[in-house]
Amino acid sequence: MYAFTPDRSLPRSELYRELAASARALVAGEPDGVANMANLSALIWQFVDRLNWAGFYRVVDGQLVLGPFQGKAACIRIPFGQGVCGAAAQSGETQLVPDVHAFPGHIACDAASRSELVVPVIRGGQVIAVIDLDSPEPGRFDAEDAAGIEALAKVIAAVI
Ligand code: SME
């Protein structure tokens, strides 16, 4: 049993430090990327509140393909440059979207999503996946959330 018990009342920077430390512990010694992404999406779900979707899209043959996640069933394939995930994959840069309805080309996988944070996972200078967080609240994510998930992306880049 893995008993990670995040204290959601902690300052967010501290909570994200704990998330990264827990992620490091969870993937230690496990080379299977699918298993690691499955556990990591569960960990994000536990640590980060007010989400309706959290998980991975992997780069496969030049497009994004759905990976392990928490939330409702989602779109399976996303071309680079399309939607928020495709923008993150193409640019290699975090996408912080306070209002998904205002984002040109946003792909609505879950109609409940109102704001979104997508962070690329980079290994050897290449985007290999993105971490996607959706919230039913407009403006749910800010720079602190982006920094926290970017730190997580660095921790896990070698093991997914
Ligand atoms: N909204 C995303 C698609 C993925 S789902 O949110 C899970 C996008 O525009 O890329």
Q: What is the pLDDT of residue 6?
A: 84
Whether residue 2 is predicted with pLDDT greater than 90 in this model: the reply is: no
Kindly indicate the confidence band of residue 160, based on its pLDDT and cuts at 50, 70 and 90.
very high
CA atoms of 91 and 81, how far apart (whole Å): 8
- Which residue, judged by its Cα, is nearest atom 1 of ligand 1? 107
Mean pLDDT value across residues 10-39: 95
Q: What is the pLDDT of residue 9?
A: 83
- Which residue, judged by its Cα, is nearest atom 5 of ligand 1? 109
CA atoms of 93 and 127, how far apart (whole Å): 10
Kindly indicate the confidence band of residue 110, based on its pLDDT and cuts at 50, 70 and 90.
confident
Whether residue 1 is predicted with pLDDT greater than 70 in this model: the reply is: no
Between the CA of 118 and the centroid of ligand 1 the distance, in Å, is 9
Between the CA of 17 and the centroid of ligand 1 the distance, in Å, is 26
Question: Which domains, from first to last, does the chain contain?
Answer: 12-156 (3.30.450.40)
